[in-house]
Structure 1
Amino acid sequence: MAYFPMFIDVKGTAVAIIGAGDVALRKVKVMLEYEAKITVIAIDVSDEIWKLEKEKKIIVRQKAYDEEDIKDAALVIAATNDTTLNKRISAYCKEHRIPVNVVDVQEECSFIFPAYVKQGPITVGVTSSGASPVISQKIKKMVMNTLPDYYGELADSLGKVREEVQKKIDTEKERKQVFKKLIAIGEERKGRISYDDLEEVLKKK
């Protein structure tokens, strides 16, 4: 069975992570990259997670887990070393339709984390749907070796002129042609494009 690829905006979204060891820390760092509002629930908390809490990047509740901790969460990640507890968290989330990831236990998950490459606003996600994480990591490295290191900057600048293109160009076909020309300029320059570049392209259209 293949998993359906879906990208969601988690900026400011309440994410509960149960567990505060090395595995939980990895998930915290991933979610911070996408600006989620993270609460970690655990009795034993690693120094690195406390450091993030002191920097006001996350909230830590040093306590035993109970269902009240996750009832308002939009996403839940179970990252404890207690199999029974992880199953209990998964069952509660599925019953209440809260997306849940139980680290390294696919059958308990309603969503899984892909291997991914992030560069500015660009994210490329790869999954083998749990069949082989090793091949997912191999494909990730192939993407990293192929994707030019300035593409994130280029995508960001294209996003900034997008509204102007939509205002000035009526048809989708013509807009695509304009963006293709802007991308070519960015590739030649190995970086971002500007409003001046857009004006030049529009003059020659």
Structure 2
Amino acid sequence: MSTNLYTINVNLKGRKCLVVGAGNISERKIQSLLECAANVSVVSPKFKTSILALQGHPNLTLITRPFEESDLNGMFLVISATNDRELNSKIGTICNNKNILINVVDKPEICSFFVPSILRRGDLSISISTGGKSPTLASKIKQDLSNQYGNEYERYVNILGEIRERIKTEVKDPVKRKDILNNLMEINLYELIKLHEDGLIKERIHKCISL
């Protein structure tokens, strides 16, 4: 029986993260970590041109040499993505012994976390994970969902967030607050956003809040 994984979103801003390896997979991991404002160190004997092009990023440090165990000192999270399976296993074992979060790209059995396939629409994040069993399936599901949840969801989420903050201030009754927020799901705001019907959007929001 497999262990259930506890799904969380982690704030990596300012956290020290290490990527070991500098291939295509590593490059994607580096980009994702930088997008989350992590402080990223990458260690590898050599780097591809596209990774070297990132060198000016203030949160990125490239270390041109083989991995050393001391590279793990102070790290919050580690991703090992080299083409050396023995080295990846070694790094995974050390990190698990040191209670450092570790993802080894070719050995899910020693990972303490998995990186899901993520569909982002602004502050809306939809994560798809197969627990490391089939990243290809996760990518396919992400593509299917991208057709269902279009770019308009970014604005939709922002509008809902603004309304929620307004209601928290203006409506003191928690039951009424909940009713208003539930009613917002029924007034087809998303369809109006797709049609750029800003006037109707304001009208329906006002009517919903005034009930």
> What TM-score bracket applies, with the shorter chain setting the length?
0.7 to 0.9
Residue 177 of structure 1 pairs with residue 198 of structure 2: no
Structure 1 counterpart of 2:153, from 146, 151, 154: 151
Corresponding residue number in structure 2 for 1:18? 20
Larger RCO, structure (CA 8 Å, separation 6 or more) = 1
Corresponding residue number in structure 1 for 2:38? 36
Corresponding residue number in structure 1 for 2:206? 200
Q: Please tell me the residue identity of whatever aligns with 1:80.
A: T
Q: Secondary structure at the match of 1:164?
A: helix
Corresponding residue number in structure 1 for 2:112? 110
- 1:25-61, Cα deviation, whole Å (9 max, x unpaired): 0111222232222111112111111111124352212
Residue 186 of structure 1 pairs with residue 192 of structure 2: no
Q: Please tell me the residue identity of whatever aligns with 1:109.
A: C
Corresponding residue number in structure 2 for 1:165? 167
Q: What RMSD, in angstroms, separates the aligned Cα atoms of the two structures?
A: 2.7
Deviation at 1:145, TM superposition (A): 1.1
Q: Distance in 1 between matches of 2:162 and 2:76?
A: 30
Q: Distance in 2 between matches of 1:92 and 1:197?
A: 59
Structure 2 counterpart of 1:134, from 130, 133, 136: 136
Deviation at 1:107, TM superposition (A): 1.2
Runs of at least 5 residues in structure 1 that lack an aligned partner in the other structure: none
Residue 51 of structure 1 pairs with residue 49 of structure 2: no
Deviates more, 1:23-32 or 1:56-65: 56-65
Runs of at least 5 residues in structure 2 that lack an aligned partner in the other structure: none
Q: Distance in 2 between matches of 1:9 and 1:197?
A: 37
- 1:62-100, Cα deviation, whole Å (9 max, x unpaired): 222212212211110001111221112111111111110
Q: Secondary structure at the match of 2:28?
A: helix
Deviation at 1:161, TM superposition (A): 4.2
Q: Distance in 2 between matches of 1:114 and 1:84?
A: 24
Indicate conservation of the 8 Å contact 1:15/1:75, yes or no. yes
Q: How many correspondences in the alignment?
A: 205
Q: Distance in 2 between matches of 1:152 and 1:108?
A: 36
- 1:118-157, Cα deviation, whole Å (9 max, x unpaired): 1111111111223333322222122111113211222133
Q: What is the TM-score when the length of structure 2 is the normalising length?
A: 0.83
Deviates more, 1:14-23 or 1:153-162: 153-162
